[in-house]
Structure 1
Amino acid sequence: MGEPSGFEYAVRGDDVVIRHRGRVATVLRGERATRFLDDVESGDPQLLMARLTGDYRRGNERTAKEHPRNRG
């Protein structure tokens, strides 16, 4: 799986708006917005935004399902 990309965020008042490829993916408010702004300074912003929006899981579910250890 490749590195997450295409994310951007904007602070609007007390809210943080996260966009993925130009579309609003999520809006963080309150404590989540504050935590996000603290975490984005110390980590990889693209990965953090992908995890918050759920886009980090896309693309490898089918491959993992077919892996020999997961066949059951």
Structure 2
Amino acid sequence: MPRPHGFAYEQHGATAAVVISHHGRPVTTLRGPRADRFLEEVAAGDAQLVMARWTGNYRRGNERTARRHPRNQGS
């Protein structure tokens, strides 16, 4: 499974907000307790994987298997 890449985040201290971007484009903004929980996860694990998971932009590894399924083959 390819590793996620191209993610970055900026923490804005005054509003306790975190903006996650992918290849320079803002994807999501987290505020309050969600931002705190995100920052804890980034500090404890693989930052790229955590950001991909929080934005919903990650592959689950089953796309190729689903493509080969008979119902997805077409007529």
Fold similarity call, TM over 0.5: yes
Aligned to 2:33: 31
Root mean square deviation, CA, Å: 2.2
Q: How far off is 1:39 after superposition? A: 1.1
Deviating beyond 6 angstroms after TM superposition, the runs of 4 or more aligned structure 1 residues are none
**Residue identity matched to 1:41:** A
- Structure 2 distance, partners of 1:2, 1:9, is 21
Larger helix proportion of the pair = 1
Q: TM-score, normalised by structure 1?
A: 0.81
Task: Provide structure 2 residue ranges, at least 5 long, that are not aligned to the other structure.
Answer: none
Aligned positions, number: 69
Give identity over the alignment, percent.
Answer: 54
SS at match of 2:58: helix
Structure 2 residue identity aligned to 1:36: F
TM-score (norm: length of structure 2): 0.79
Measured in 1, the distance between the counterparts of 2:57 and 2:65 equals: 16
Q: Which has the larger radius of gyration?
A: 2
Unaligned runs of 5+ in 1: none
